[in-house]
């Protein structure tokens, strides 16, 4: 319908006429007639409808466990107790 309407009007107006519902095409008329002629069920269900709600499940992607061996260091009490090293004195140029 956009193509048909665009031959007689600008594209913007053709799009508006196609989707506004005020200018139905032959296919729209056929669908409307079919909907109106559908048989409505006269019987009501004796049991109430049960709505089941299924929520989405969260999927967790966990990386595989990898063992890591940390480098061991030997910190003895004797090494810690000592005072830090003092840098040598600087000679002043002069």
Mean pLDDT, range 79-83, rounded to an integer: 60
Task: Please provide the DSSP assignment of 2-40 as one string.
Answer: HHHHHTTS-HHHHHHHHHSSSS--HHHHHHHHHHHHSPP
Q: Give the model confidence (pLDDT) of 25-80 as tens digits.
A: 888 888 888 888 876 666 666 667 777 777 777 778 888 888 877 777 666 655 55
14 domain residue, yes or no: yes
12 domain residue, yes or no: yes
Please tell me the pTM assigned to this model: 0.36
Count up the domains in the chain and report the number: 1
76 domain residue, yes or no: no
16 domain residue, yes or no: yes
Which structural domain, as residue segments, surrounds residue 10? 1-36
Q: CA–CA separation, 55 vs 32, rounded Å?
A: 36
């Amino acid at each position: 319908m956009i193509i048909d309407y665009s031959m007689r009007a600008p594209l913007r107006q053709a799009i508006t006429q196609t989707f506004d519902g005020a200018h139905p095409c032959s296919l729209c008329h056929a669908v409307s007639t079919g909907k109106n002629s559908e048989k409505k069920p006269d019987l009501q269900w004796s049991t109430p409808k049960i709505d089941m709600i299924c929520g989405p499940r969260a999927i967790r992607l966990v990386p595989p466990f990898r063992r890591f061996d940390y480098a061991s260091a030997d910190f003895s009490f004797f090494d810690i107790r000592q005072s830090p090293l003092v840098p040598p004195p600087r000679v002043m140029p002069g």
